[in-house]
Amino acid sequence: MSASQSPSCTSPRELFAVLAAGATLLLVVHALGRFIYTPLLPYLISDGQIDPQQGASIATWNYLGYLVGAMLAIRWHRIDHIRWLLPLSLTVHVLTTLLQTQLDQASAIATSRWVNGVANGVVFVQAPALILEWLVRRNRASLSGLVYLGVGLGLLVSSVLVTFSADWLTGADRWWPAALVSIPLAWWGTARLLQLDVPVRSGDDQDAHPRPTALLDRASVPLFLSYAGAGLGYILPMTFLPLVATIQLPAGHWLVDGAWLLVALATLPAAFIWNHFGAKFGDLPAIRANFGIQLLGVLAAVIWPGPVGIVLCALLVGGTFLGTVLLTQRIGRALHPHQGPRLSAALVALYGFTQMVGPWLTKQWLDFGGTLDSAFWIGVVALLWGLVFTVLVPRPEDWHSRPAS
């Protein structure tokens, strides 16, 4: 019997290697491909390569690409699809990141960032999906969330790369550290995951027990609406916080670079903390606390401009946004256990769409004469919206025990 057929044959070392490979790929595409733009943005603006409006527009194009990539991953979701689309997407990520080192025109940068976003969306859906299939066959599905630790570690890596190279690189050259680090990590992570023994028809068992329930109902609609608020609310500080620091603080202040470092440090333990909180007190109480803390973080940046607000925003948002993803996905599956993959895909697409809307709304606000600081009120309202709708989500046990209509 092969290791894929016998869970007991899977060693802790092999489990660690697979989870590390998945975390590495998320680090590459989501941190070095996507979120490294956040600490780079103030430098790209000060270098004169782009202005704040162009910066917001470029971020919007990248998030639109992420949405398209997530939709592609939903369309080509089978294991045989993943085996060719995953390495293709990692190759596209590496090539577009290398291309960033040669581009100076805002329109060309936006196009490259859109393509990079497509690759990010595909990998962010497909790498965890492939690992989950592999873990399920070993009765280790509960470990799948550890893959997202790569995002937290990646934020720390991106902060170090930008800060380390800040004084000796300028303009498009600032992308070189991310490009060079991505190449070996993408190669190793992809090669390791393509070795996984996962049958091509591993998802067929799900089709043997169809459940014709609606994806949207009185239980899931409030959850979708709350998740929309989460995506719009968190993406503003995760895109513009270092730039806000350059606006609110004197030149050379440690928080110009340090704000993103604080976000990264707060993100590192987030998956463990919110997983434990949800397991101990329930996912619904946990998600409501999560929204409340995240709301306070974004609010702090606008009512306490300066070091206090920036530090609080970095710590509170950095320490919660991964928990929002983890808890929402679990609550969704608990409400509709037979809609797992479909529900998860729909939530990913919705999250991607609202993240795209955030920078677009910010650009509109700036074009109308608003300030970047005040644009954070959009995030405050969005998270308040999300918090209200979490209160309307029923407990899964109550939902399943309701009288049949």
pLDDT digits (tens, 9 = 90+) for 239-279: 888 889 988 888 888 888 889 889 989 998 888 888 788 87
- Residue-wise pLDDT for 206-241, tens only, equals 444 444 466 677 778 899 999 999 999 998 888 888
- Quote the pLDDT of residue 213: 61
Residue 3 has pLDDT above 60, yes or no: no
pLDDT tens digits, one per residue of 120-134: 989 988 888 788 778
Is residue 69 within 8 A of residue 96, CB to CB? The reply is no
What mean pLDDT comes out for the span 373-383?
A: 92
Is residue 187's pLDDT more than 70? yes
The whole-angstrom distance between residue 213's C-alpha and the CA centroid of its chain comes to: 28
The radius of gyration of the chain's CA atoms, rounded to the nearest angstrom, is 21
Closest CA to 320 of 269, 392, 390, 359: 269
- pLDDT higher at 216 or 43: 43
pLDDT at residue 280 is higher than 70:
yes
Higher pLDDT, 89 or 207: 89
Give me the pLDDT at residue 60, please.
Answer: 86
Q: What is the mean pLDDT of the chain?
A: 86
What mean pLDDT comes out for the span 22-42? 93
Across 48-72, average pLDDT: 89
48 confidence band (pLDDT: 50, 70, 90): very high
- What is the average pLDDT across 142-148? 75
pLDDT of residue 194: 92
Q: Is the pLDDT of residue 32 over 60?
A: yes
Q: What is the pTM of this model?
A: 0.80
Per-residue pLDDT band at 76 (split at 50, 70, 90): confident
Between 302 and 333, the more confident residue is: 302
pLDDT, tens only, 326-373: 788 788 877 877 665 567 667 878 888 888 888 888 888 888 888 888
Q: Are 291 and 208 in contact (CB under 8 A)?
A: no
Quick one: pLDDT band at residue 1, thresholds 50, 70, 90? very low
